[in-house]
């Protein structure tokens, strides 16, 4: 196959490209220039897309003996990933930019260009496995190394994109093995630190980034009764489940910590309360993307995960067979677009925020993904309008 290897400048993508070569593929390397400020270097192990990373990617391609190109996708990245990030926080939701990047850039723009140029697949350094199915299709699975598994952020790609994706690191035992392999191949990135946090917030100060882009919007921090407990500079800087940085003027009467229960951008308020108010029994998500959708109208046992490094929890999943009224706003269309989830009470799921990605698993296999619309306490779906934890779309 003709394979386009996405070289980020890190060790994972370099070893993935090397393994694609070992498998007999014709490999060409490409570095995606995603940042509009690429003259700055990454800060420690934070960030990516700097000149340093482009140089590391080029040197890796030289060692592997493959052609190398740099594609400037910064405009697409800004218009989709960064714009979505800002819009979601401004609306009181909590987005995952890695999910949006995989959806709009790596397995949309990059893959579309690759296919148009005659490549058969895109190869990346993601930790996930792809399995062939009896019907000729392919399924997405968790990586062998659970600590590095990235199937959660890849679930949004869907079956059509998965058909043209290679993840050569899915079966490695650990990141240490990848580093050892890189060193043995003479790749200088073998000891390069991992990037983490949000790649386009290189200094790790997400609140500062949001404030610089969205401006200061002072408002109140209140309890469930509406009593003012403190002030904030922008409700967008808070997310459901947050405990630190609340800047409260006085402690709770019982002395216990308070957590963010909801963010209300229209009223510019942040509502806080005790940790038990974060308990989630039911979730409604929309914009579903399925590899293997449950039959409409029937509850299906599954595992669901709501954070990239979260613990999957037992749940029952329903794809409604007709449009159902949402708690806020107009009726939500279905089937396919909406997913209803009832979580096992013993799972202790807490602090699910609108905007988070909800991924449905069956064992290690990804069945589908959707974006959280609202999270509610147990019994809300059966009882009509839910008591909302975290709110919904605004």
Contact 223, 272 (CB under 8 A): yes
- Name which of 111, 93, 83 is nearest 200 in CA terms: 83
* Whole-angstrom distance, CA of residue 351 vs CA of residue 354: 10
Q: Would you call 213 helix, strand, or coil by DSSP? A: helix
Active site annotation includes 49 = no
Answer yes or no: are the C-beta atoms of 229 and 223 closer than 8 Å.
yes
Q: CA 215, CA 218: separation in Å to the nearest integer?
A: 10
- As a whole number of angstroms, the distance between CA 246 and CA 38 comes to 33
Beta strand extents in the chain (DSSP E only)? 2-6, 26-33, 68-72, 121-123, 128-132, 138-142, 165-166, 219-222, 228-232, 259-264, 269-273, 282-290, 300-305, 313-318, 339-343, 357-362, 365-376, 388-389
Which residues, including other chains, have CB under 8 Å from residue 292's CB and lie 6 or more apart? 139, 362, 365, 367, 368
C-alpha 246/C-alpha 230 separation (Å) is 8
| Distance of alpha carbon 167 from alpha carbon 116, whole angstroms | 21
Residue 256: phi and psi, rounded to 5, are -85, 155
Marked catalytic residue, from 49, 98, 101, 123: 101
Q: Which of 49, 98, 123, 199 is catalytic?
A: 199
Q: Is 101 labeled as catalytic in the residue annotation?
A: yes
- CA-wise closest residue to 137 among 302, 348, 381, 366: 366
Positions marked active-site: 101, 199
């Amino acid at each position: 196959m003709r394979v386009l290897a996405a070289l980020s400048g890190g060790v994972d993508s370099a070893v993935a490209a090397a393994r694609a070569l070992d498998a007999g593929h014709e490999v060409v390397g490409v570095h995606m220039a995603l940042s509009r400020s690429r003259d700055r270097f990454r800060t420690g192990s934070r960030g990516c897309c700097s000149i340093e990373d482009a140089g590391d990617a080029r040197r890796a391609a030289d060692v592997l003996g493959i052609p190398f190109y740099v594609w400037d996708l910064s405009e697409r990245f800004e218009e989709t990933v960064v714009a979505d990030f800002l819009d979601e926080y401004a609306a009181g939701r909590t987005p995952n930019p890695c999910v949006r990047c995989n959806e709009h850039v790596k397995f949309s723009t990059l893959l579309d260009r690759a296919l148009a140029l005659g490549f058969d697949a895109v190869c990346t350094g993601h930790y996930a496995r792809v399995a062939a199915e009896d019907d000729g299709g392919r399924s997405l699975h968790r990586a062998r190394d659970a600590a590095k598994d990235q199937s959660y952020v890849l679930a949004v790609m869907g079956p059509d994109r998965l058909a043209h994706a290679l993840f050569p690191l899915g079966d490695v035992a650990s990141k240490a093995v990848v580093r050892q392999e890189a060193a043995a191949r003479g790749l200088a990135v073998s000891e390069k630190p991992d990037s983490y946090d949000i790649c386009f917030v290189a200094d790790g100060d997400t609140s500062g980034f949001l404030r610089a882009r969205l401006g200061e919007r002072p408002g109140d921090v209140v309890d469930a009764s509406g009593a003012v407990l403190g002030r904030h500079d922008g409700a967008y800087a808070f997310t459901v489940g947050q405990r630190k940085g609340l800047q409260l003027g006085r402690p709770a009467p019982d002395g216990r910590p308070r957590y963010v229960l909801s963010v209300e951008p229209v009223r510019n308020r942040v509502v806080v309360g005790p940790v038990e108010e974060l308990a989630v029994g039911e979730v409604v998500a929309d914009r579903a993307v399925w590899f293997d959708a449950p039959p409409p109208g029937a509850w299906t046992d599954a595992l669901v995960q709501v954070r990239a490094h979260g613990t999957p929890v037992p749940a029952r999943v329903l794809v409604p067979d007709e449009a159902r009224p949402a708690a806020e706003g107009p009726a939500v269309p279905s089937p396919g677009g909406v997913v209803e989830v009832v979580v096992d009470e013993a799972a202790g799921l807490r602090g699910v925020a609108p905007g988070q990605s909800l991924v449905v698993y069956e064992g290690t296999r990804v069945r589908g993904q959707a974006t959280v619309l609202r999270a509610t306490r147990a019994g809300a779906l059966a009882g009509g309008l839910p008591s909302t934890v975290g709110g919904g779309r605004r």
